[in-house]
Structure 1
Amino acid sequence: MTVLITGATGTTGSRLSRVLHDRGVPVRRAGRSPAADVRFDWSDPATHAPAVRGVRAIYLVAPPGAADPEPLVIPFLEAARVAGVERIVLLGSSAVPVGSPGPGVLGARLAEFAPHPVVLRPTWFASNFTGRHLHGDSVRRDGEIVSATGEGRIPFIDPGDIAAVAAQALLGALPTGGEPILTGPRPLTFDEVAATLSEVTGRPVRHRRVSVEELSRRHQDDGVPAAFADLLAAMDARIAAGSEDRTTTAVEDITGTAPRSLRSFLAASWRDR
């Protein structure tokens, strides 16, 4: 069973590729990079059918920065349907209900294109503070993280845990139509995250609170399209109101292993630098 991975060089796709390879599952990494197994471009429908030929399952990561990914993704999903793809696992978000306008529409439409759809809905990634991300960049450059979350809490998740769940879903271990919300073990405020970063890195890191409007401008200055920047900033406002202040047992229920803590993830990330 060949699995096609979109976003194969990204945060979860790269980890998923390794997990499936270690299990002996044939993987086809799709992308524009020369290192990809098959050339794939969301904006070039001619690349869609060759990417899905002979594929039984797809890990679907929507085009980054698209506030409304449907026009780009639906032609690809149609190619998958024609190719007889049986299972599609979509990387969604705990902050985006399936069926909601914009990115949420994709999850609601998956069943039109494959008989076994699953939508994974992870919370915010722990790797946001270590990788190429606005938070990670500002930690390294300025010794601060900037948000509009106020006292809101988030149960940050190790992307490796997301990859482990995705592997199970692609191999048929999750019910068709499932929408598991994936979290880390404990919700934290950004003040607590800053304190943890200070301890782990050995240098002071603070949390600077800004307005939603200022946060959107920061995202745009970092190259994020305006509509998507507004969407990201609005998510911070919902976090401040308590939208992510929860945990689930989904990671352990699905993989048999408890989710990794933010502290453990950060400590390992800095140790490996």
Structure 2
Amino acid sequence: MSTSGTTLVIGATGTTGSRVVAGLTAAGRRVKAASRRATPAPGVDAVFFNWYDPATHAAALDGVDRAYLIPPLGDPDPAAVMVPFLERARGAGVERVVLLSASAIPEGGPAVGMVHRALPGLFDQWAVLRPSWFMQNFTTAHLHALSIRDEGAILTAAGDGRVAFIDAGDIAAVGVHALTAEHAPNTDLLLTGPQALSYDDIAAIVTEVTGRPVVHRRLSYEQLCERLATDMPEEFAALLAGLDRAVAEGAEDRVTDTVQRLIGRPARTFRALLEREGLTA
């Protein structure tokens, strides 16, 4: 692979995408930053991109040899638009692709899991990032952060289940590594923070660090589905509520050393992130 090519970052204004753009530009890489807003940024080529408008795809792919992909938000079947795009990307000369998935979604699983399954058959150089839940879900404009702000509560169907929440900056650092290393990982990478925490633990840390009283309010699966469905399609709401139910059953109670192993430093703790960034929702 050429070391002087251009990397396409789809979702370049998002939580991980913006950080991947920053990491790539800091490393001196040329970046094409694709989003629905085509937001200009220093040192990057901003381009308008919409997963559901193929007319925007050619300009995004022009001159690109690698890509970081964030699936369309809230789509229960992203493979329908992403796989044709990936086929087009291969034809346009893209050699390496890094896909953002999730720890809860295995290869061939629901939603982006089907894109994961297709990726190795399309590209010789690839990686799938499978992070646990983002720490930023509690600090920026996400449902948890908004309920902390508006209700002083985190609402889940996760019970006592624990998650090794991860800093989006660590996800992005691994993404930059996967895009720029001499050899592509050619595997999926399970990414976690350094400790598994319950939502009760998270509420206690937020209360202690910020001085804002926060509690974990436990909902049933059905109650969470109903709440989420006010902001998103029912099918996607059911998928997210199902992930909470899996957390309650212990599916995310694990810690990996992937961040340390690939970027040479420990993954950040939730307390450290909160002390550094605070609550911005």
Q: TM-score range by the shorter chain?
A: over 0.9
Query: 8 Å contact 2:164–2:253 — kept in the other structure?
Result: yes
Aligned to 2:43: none
Partner residue, 1:183: 192
Give the Cα–Cα distance (whole angstroms) in 2 for the partners of residues 102 and 49 of structure 1: 24
Q: Which residue of 1 aligns with 2:92?
A: 83
Matched, 1:214 2:223: yes
Is residue 26 of structure 2 the alignment partner of residue 17 of structure 1?
A: no
SS of the equivalent of 1:18 reads helix
After superposition, the CA RMSD in angstroms is: 1.4
Partners of 2:240 and 2:183 in 1: CA distance: 29
Q: Secondary structure at the match of 2:29?
A: coil
1:230 paired to 2:234:
no
Q: For 2:73 and 2:179, locate their aligned partners in 1 and report how far apart those are by CA, in whole Å.
A: 22
**Closer, same or farther in 2 for the Cα pair 1:234/1:65, shift >3 Å?**
same
Tell me the distance in 1 between the aligned counterparts of 2:279 and 2:218.
28
In the other structure, the counterpart of 2:77 is 68
- Sort the Cα spacing of 1:137 and 1:210 in 2 relative to 1 into closer, same or farther, 3 A: same
**Alignment partners' CA distance in 1, 2:185 and 2:165:** 26
Deviation at 1:180, TM superposition (A): 1.1
Matched residues in 2 for 1:137 and 1:243: separation? 25
Q: What is the SS of the residue equivalent to 1:56?
A: strand
* 1:3 and 1:55 in contact (8 A); partners too: yes
TM-score normalised per structure 2? 0.94
Deviations 1:214-262 (A, max 9, x none): 11111122x2111111000000000000000000000000000100001
Cross-structure match for 1:42: 51
In the TM superposition, what whole-angstrom CA distance separates every residue of 1:19-42 from its partner, at most 9, and x where no partner exists? Answer: 111110011001120415111111
Residue type matched to 1:25 in 2?
R
Q: Contact 1:80/1:113 (CA < 8 Å) preserved in 2?
A: no
| Matched ranges for 1:99-110 at <5 A | 99-110=108-119
* Shift of residue 174, structure 1, vs aligned partner: 5.7
Match status 1:118 vs 2:127? yes
Give the whole-Å Cα distance in 1 for the aligned partners of 2:82 and 2:279.
38
Q: 1:82 & 1:40 partners in 2: Cα distance?
A: 18
Equivalent position to 1:266, from 270, 274, 278: 274
* CA positional deviation for 1:173: 5.1
1:96 — aligned with what? Answer: 105
Partners of 1:39 and 1:237 in 2: how far apart? 37
List per-residue Cα deviations over 1:158-211 (Å, max 9, x = no partner). Answer: 000000000000013564421110000000000010000101111210000000
1:123–1:156 Cα contact (<8 Å) kept: yes
1:121: how far off? 0.5
Tell me the TM-score normalized by structure 1.
Answer: 0.96
The residue type paired with residue 103 of structure 2 is S
Q: 1:159 aligns with which of 149, 152, 168?
A: 168
Secondary structure (helix, strand or coil) at the match of 2:129 reads: strand
- The equivalent residue for 1:146 is 155
Amino acid in the other structure paired with 1:236: D
Partner residue of 2:257?
Answer: 249
Bigger Cα displacement from structure 2, 152-161 vs 169-178: 169-178
* Pair 1:172 & 2:176 matched: no
CA distance in 2, matches of 1:134, 1:217: 14
- Unaligned residue ranges in structure 1 (runs of 5+): none
Q: 1:176 to 1:203 in 2, by over 3 A?
A: closer
Tell me, what secondary structure is at the counterpart of 1:228?
helix
Residue in 2 that maps onto 1:51: 60
Q: Which amino acid aligns with 1:50?
A: A
After superposition, the Cα gap between the structure-2 partners of 1:227 and 1:272, relative to the gap in structure 1 and judged at 3 Å, is closer
Identical aligned residues as a percent: 46
How many residue pairs are counted as aligned between the two chains? Answer: 272
